[in-house]
Structure 1
Amino acid sequence: MKELQGAGVALVTPFNADGSIDFESLGRLIDFQIDEGMNYLVSLGTTGETATLTASERKQVWEYTSTRVNGRVPLVAGIGGNNTAATVEEIAAFNFAGYCALLSVSPYYNKPTQEGIYQHYKAIAEASKLPVILYNVPGRTGSNLSPATTVRLANEFKQIVATKEASGSFAQFSEIMRDKPADFLLISGDDPITLPMMALGAVGIISVIGNAYPGLVSKLAAHCAAGRYEEARSIHNDLLKRTELCFVESNPCGIKYIMKKLGIIQTDNVRLPLVPVSAALQSAIDQELAK
């Protein structure tokens, strides 16, 4: 899966003032990412506020994104949930044209056992016509996809080709790297630790800050892949404060505010239960952007 190496971005879903999807801004965002060197795009990951979109809206976004990309870069679709049967049903109905893989978040809220998580991904692997990327983000899901379960899935299902790891645990990353099949990919799911994760053996990042700074994120990943860590550290340090501010309040509220300020999207609207960033955070972001 060379398509998943380097820098990918979890695209935001821009909204109009009335709360509808702003496809004009989405189109500009897609072109901006490709023009700035992003290696691949992820449509409707958690950063895309997927949980607040209707089934019809998700279908529209996936199809619009595939048409706009038009084969210029690889494309990944985020399809996941905490209802295994519903997730399998959505995968079965998905139009795979233009997509190279699925990204599927570990089941949230239910707090399943490791066996439950294994069975969930087993059902997804057996239902999908495309390769599957696991997504472990315990801070959002309430449960951890353990290294042992990750490696078990990687060994038993050829369809499962990678994991996006956002656990923040380097002990966990190291265990995965030690025990995984040779061709199974570890991908950073957390912008601030992409550099050390790639030093450990991760092949790249699925980024949030890359929505606003695709050129810098793609260069950071390229430098790390080539072992140019001094150059990578310079970019890492440049982005660090802006990235930190993105996550002071819930993602994607911070990155959307930055993107609006930079003129990438028209509004920083999000859908309830999320709300735009507070005045205090706006001020902090403005100060950082002014630098």
Structure 2
Amino acid sequence: MPLIDRTTSGVYIICATPFTETGALDLDSLDRLVDFYVGTGVTGLTILGMMGEADKLTPEERRAVIDRVMARTSLPVVVGVSDAGLGNLAALGLYAMEKGAAGLMVAPSKGSPREDRVIAYFHAVAGALGRDVPIVFQDFPQSTGIPVSSRTILELSADLPQMVMLKHEDCPGLTKITTLREAEATGAPRLSILCGNGGLYLPQELARGADGAMTGFAYPEALVETVRLWQEGKQAAAEDLFDRYLPILRHEQQPGWGLAVRKTVLMKRGAIACAATRAPGPRLTGTDVAELERLMGRLAKKLAKEV
């Protein structure tokens, strides 16, 4: 499996983790989900991310997910390995690389929001993993509580050759992309920039110089086609296509609740057997489901008119 690098582009879909109604890991649904994602044309997958409920999995379950996904696809797979303990992070990360991972995603550790601490932490992570392991810096201050400046990202990119990608989820964050690309134009090492936040701002992020998306959305084909059209120079067509999905994309991005929406859509699209999140987690009511079905129906009608 190829490793990610500083030129990686496309769509790396954040993979949900399927569970049964009782909360058990559903590996058969994971197979179906991987097949579904591959069928939408994604460039790669990212597993065990925050929206993959990795923090609710046991160490054994995390390894089971890695094993199952790696056995199911030849696409590059990035593995989220963020952990409160550096030893735990390194053990899972090295296990994932042995199994064929394309790289590892790491978020700043929680604690004092000082940038010198972030810099020291990523040097420690890089030392624990080794120079040959590609690292994705997950910049998601809305979740971690750790804001990170463009200057710090550029410093780490220059100091750590293995930090090859930024998963950009700062919000507002468009200016950060511009700052990084301007610095690269004057000699800073290039970083691959793939963006998160469900893809809500994807056309604007691509216009600022992002290389694609690394995020979750229950209609991955929308992200794939948006990035493809943009990279082909068809920016207006990319934005027109993206706009068709905006109502349901926006609906899926409700904080603390969107994962249940995403899993319900994936279930209704036949990708997983059950929409359950692992406790404690959100669950849709009958009214919520009816509302979602209406949005899905409206989208289906829009898309049918184009055929």
Q: What's the TM-score, normalizing by structure 1?
A: 0.92
- Judge which range, 58-67 or 112-121, deviates more: 112-121
Match of residue 38 from structure 1? 42
| Shift, 1:106, TM fit | 2.2
User: Retained in 2: the 8 A contact 1:111–1:141?
Assistant: no
In 2 relative to 1, CA 113–264 (structure 1 residues): closer, same or farther, beyond 3 Å? same
Which letter maps to 1:160? M
Q: Deviations over 1:175-221 (max 9, x none)?
A: 22222434311211121111111111110001211xx2222221111
Q: Distance between the aligned counterparts of 2:201 and 2:43, measured in 1?
A: 19
Which letter maps to 2:128? A
User: Retained in 2: the 8 A contact 1:42–1:78?
Assistant: yes
Alignment of 1:214-253 (within 5 A): 214-250=220-256, 251-253=258-260
| Shift, 1:252, TM fit | 1.8
Q: Distance between the aligned counterparts of 1:3 and 1:183, measured in 2?
A: 8
Structure 2 unaligned segments of length 5 or more: list them: 299-307
- Within the alignment, does 1:133 sit opposite 2:136 as a pair? yes
- Judge which range, 274-283 or 73-82, deviates more: 274-283
- Within the alignment, does 1:257 sit opposite 2:264 as a pair? yes
Match of residue 13 from structure 1? 17
User: Secondary structure, in 3 states, of the residue corresponding to 1:252?
Assistant: helix
- Within the alignment, does 1:121 sit opposite 2:129 as a pair? no
Alignment of 1:129-278 (within 5 A): 129-168=132-171, 169-180=173-184, 181-190=188-197, 191-209=199-217, 212-250=218-256, 251-278=258-285
In 2 relative to 1, CA 111–262 (structure 1 residues): closer, same or farther, beyond 3 Å? farther
User: Secondary structure, in 3 states, of the residue corresponding to 1:4?
Assistant: coil
| Shift, 1:93, TM fit | 4.5
Which letter maps to 1:203? D
| Shift, 1:56, TM fit | 0.4
Moved runs in structure 1, 4+ residues, more than 3 A? 82-86, 92-95, 278-281
User: Secondary structure, in 3 states, of the residue corresponding to 2:201?
Assistant: helix
In 2 relative to 1, CA 93–290 (structure 1 residues): closer, same or farther, beyond 3 Å? closer
Count of aligned positions: 286
Q: Distance between the aligned counterparts of 2:115 and 2:6, measured in 1?
A: 29
| Shift, 1:290, TM fit | 1.4
| Shift, 1:99, TM fit | 1.2
User: Secondary structure, in 3 states, of the residue corresponding to 2:165?
Assistant: strand
Q: Distance between the aligned counterparts of 2:6 and 2:228, measured in 1?
A: 14
User: Secondary structure, in 3 states, of the residue corresponding to 2:133?
Assistant: coil
| Shift, 1:83, TM fit | 3.4
Q: Distance between the aligned counterparts of 2:234 and 2:90, measured in 1?
A: 42
User: Retained in 1: the 8 A contact 2:167–2:196?
Assistant: yes
Match of residue 102 from structure 2? 100
In 2 relative to 1, CA 179–90 (structure 1 residues): closer, same or farther, beyond 3 Å? same
In 2 relative to 1, CA 88–176 (structure 1 residues): closer, same or farther, beyond 3 Å? same
Percent of pairs with identical residues:
21
When the two chains are superposed, the root-mean-square deviation of aligned CA atoms in Å is 1.8
Q: Distance between the aligned counterparts of 2:125 and 2:260, measured in 1?
A: 30
Match of residue 112 from structure 1? 113
| Shift, 1:123, TM fit | 1.4
User: Retained in 1: the 8 A contact 2:83–2:89?
Assistant: yes
Q: Distance between the aligned counterparts of 1:230 and 1:197, measured in 2?
A: 14
| Shift, 1:94, TM fit | 4.0
| Shift, 1:233, TM fit | 0.8
In 2 relative to 1, CA 264–219 (structure 1 residues): closer, same or farther, beyond 3 Å? same
Which letter maps to 1:227? G
Q: 1:26 aligns with which of 24, 30, 33?
A: 30
Q: Distance between the aligned counterparts of 1:32 and 1:95, measured in 2?
A: 24
